Structure 1
Amino acid sequence: MKMPTAPSHKPVIVSENYERVDGRLARNTDAKSLSLGLAERNADRGAADLLAKVWGYEGDTLSEQSVELPLHRVLDLSILICRSLAHFRDAYRYEHLYDPQKPILDRIGLQGDAMTVAVCTGNDSIHDDIKLFSQALSDDDEMLSERLRVLSKILKDMGY
């Protein structure tokens, strides 16, 4: 199913098979996909706010889920963010910041399956949106890096 673009969210990086790794709810969940993307309200002006979104079904249509998230989904979004940041460190090597022939960036093993991390090729304006997304990551690098360093330290202190 094509990942929709909502009035508030233009997906760039997606995990469209999330229902297979959604914690205790895996294979029986309302959360079908995760995405990282742009706030559409700003994307057209050349400035972008970065957003994360959990997608579920309303009938046969993918739709936005509630703001409340189980803790494992917060961690799964963190995994998606970190894997995306790793991709964009070397994305300059590609004309479109990714290889259109290989849009899957990674498969991350979770609970006997794997969460797919991919560029959202179903987004009709992906070539423009991925550039805005990359620029926004660059613009927010200091803020994101500070938080990642804090998270890394806490995880190390906890023995992870």
Structure 2
Amino acid sequence: MADPVATVEKIVKVGLKIKDAVDTVRHNKEECDEIRRRVLRFSAILSQLQQTGLVNDSPAMSGALEDLEESLQHALELVMACQEKSTIRHLIRAGDMSKQLRRVKDDILNKVMLASFAINAHTTIVLLTIQAGGHLPPRLQLQVEDAVGQRVKRFKFVTD
């Protein structure tokens, strides 16, 4: 599992690359601008969250942030494809590219929601730990399951 802090740094770097790439797109400008706005907002929020130390060593957030970074890399590839100069290629691929850009926007939003859930779960654990005097309540246990080949983290309350 990757370091959440390093993943946030990668997300911010990809966000800046997307920002620069959108400045020179020739096709699908509206979709690319929307991707840039979303990515820059998410990057700013994650940077601020990183400064609080909340994302440090959080296994609950690692997978979600890695997934988000993967989606942003795909978005960067699509935005860069919109920089192509060839008019003929643009006419052939315009509709398909527009669909791909919409899909990647939705994918980014879905990954951000997952990351938000992970952050909320981590915050809950931190608050429960503080409330319990520095130790997790014995009923709370972190379970890591492997479902359909993906890492899935679940928090389970175990009854005594």
Q: Per residue, is there more strand in 1 or in 2?
A: 1
Q: Is the shorter-chain TM-score for this pair beyond 0.5, marking a shared fold? A: no
Task: Report TM bin, short chain.
Answer: under 0.3
TM-score, normalising length: structure 1:
0.28
Q: Per residue, is there more helix in 1 or in 2?
A: 2
